[in-house]
Amino acid sequence: MRETKYWAWHMAAGIVILVLLGLHMTTMHMGGLTGLFVSHPGEEATALVNSQARDARLSFAVGYIVLLGVALFHGFYGLRTILFELTLRPLTEKVITIVLVVAGLGLFGLGSWASLAAHARAIVPGG
Amino acid sequence: MGDIQHHDNRLGIWGWLGGGRWGPERYAYALHRISGLGILLYFTMHIVVTSLRATGIYLWTEGQLFDNVVFKVGEFLVFAAFAYHACNGIRLILVELGLAVGRPFEPVYPYRTSLAVQRPLLIVMMIVAGLLLAGGGAEFLRH
């Protein structure tokens, strides 16, 4: 039952990622076509001024953290599912789960801190 | 009780790489996993690199490493993996929720499979993925 619940979360996370990562990809890789969230149209979406302009917006900082959380869950749960299909011993399964949870939480902590710190730096003139 | 013969029928990783008689959906499944693992690998590196901006380092704006052809091709492959994984993922969710496999019917010979019912969805999603690739590819070529 618990695995069914996790699988439902995995699918729901996929839909959230579709929206947020779709926006991210459209901004970063199709910005020339759409002009979406490009604060300085003369510059590339990946240019320093546009990167800092995005960091200065709280909505982007929050969006990055939400995307980070759902993408890490979706990715690591997907990896766990693939590994578990290889018919492993229960102890190996437990170790894999612990490693993936620790790695996921670690990356989530790092990315969340970076988003908030970059936002704080970007809203300070000359930061 | 007769002796039970044990066969080594564990196919492991090779089990999901082969399409066999399952048709294009089986290859779509294998490619979904390969693209997913590729995205996950990139994503973990992406988190580390983009986290440097907390210290004021926007590594991707500094040229050199990120401006060479190999990196650009790699970046396009990530975009391609995302486009495919997203489009095929939508199909998988619709199939999982029973929205694209038709109504249940009595199994009367000659048997029909629900794979054929959802196949138009597979084709449509692959066309959408192709269009995204074309759009994203044009943007990459522009640089």
Pick the residue of B43, B84, B87, B90 with the most A CBs within 10 A to test the interface with A by mutation: B43
Residue B87 to residues B57, B108, B128, Cα–Cα distance (Å): 34, 33, 7
Q: Tell me, which fold does domain A2-123 have in CATH?
A: 3 helical TM bundles of succinate and fumarate reductases (1.20.1300)
Q: Which residues of A23-47 are buried (b: 16+ CB within 10 A; e: fewer)?
A: ebbbbbbbbeeeeebbeeeebbbbb
Place of tokens 């790092």: A110
Indicate the average pLDDT of chain B: 84
pLDDT score at B61: 79
Residues of B in contact with A127 (CB under 8 A): 56
Of the pLDDT bands very low, low, confident and very high (cuts 50, 70, 90), residue A37 is low
pLDDT score at A66: 96
Give the torsion through C-alpha atoms of A56, A62, A66, A69, to 10 deg: 70
Residue A86's closest chain B neighbor by CA? Answer: B12
pLDDT score at A62: 94
Tell me, what amino acid is at A13? A
Domain ranges of chain A: 2-123
CATH of B22-142, one of 3.40.50.970, 1.10.150.50, 1.20.1300.10, 3.30.2090.10: 1.20.1300.10
Indicate the average pLDDT of chain A: 87
Residues of B in contact with A117 (CB under 8 A): 54-55
Facing A32 at nearest CB: one of B33, B58, B139:
B139
Domain ranges of chain B: 22-142
Inter-chain touch B10–A111, beta carbons under 8 Å? no
- Predicted TM-score of the model (pTM): 0.85
Question: Which of A14-23, A40-49, B15-24 is predicted with the least confidence, judged by mean pLDDT?
Answer: B15-24
pLDDT score at B124: 95
Residue A45 pLDDT greater than 80, yes or no? no
Question: Which of B6-10, B90-94, B124-128, B137-141 is predicted with the least confidence, judged by mean pLDDT?
Answer: B6-10
pLDDT score at A80: 96
Facing B61 at nearest CB: one of A11, A51, A115:
A51
pLDDT score at B9: 64
Q: Three-state DSSP class for B103?
A: coil
Facing A118 at nearest CB: one of B53, B89, B139:
B53
What is the average pLDDT across A10-20? 94
Of the pLDDT bands very low, low, confident and very high (cuts 50, 70, 90), residue B26 is confident
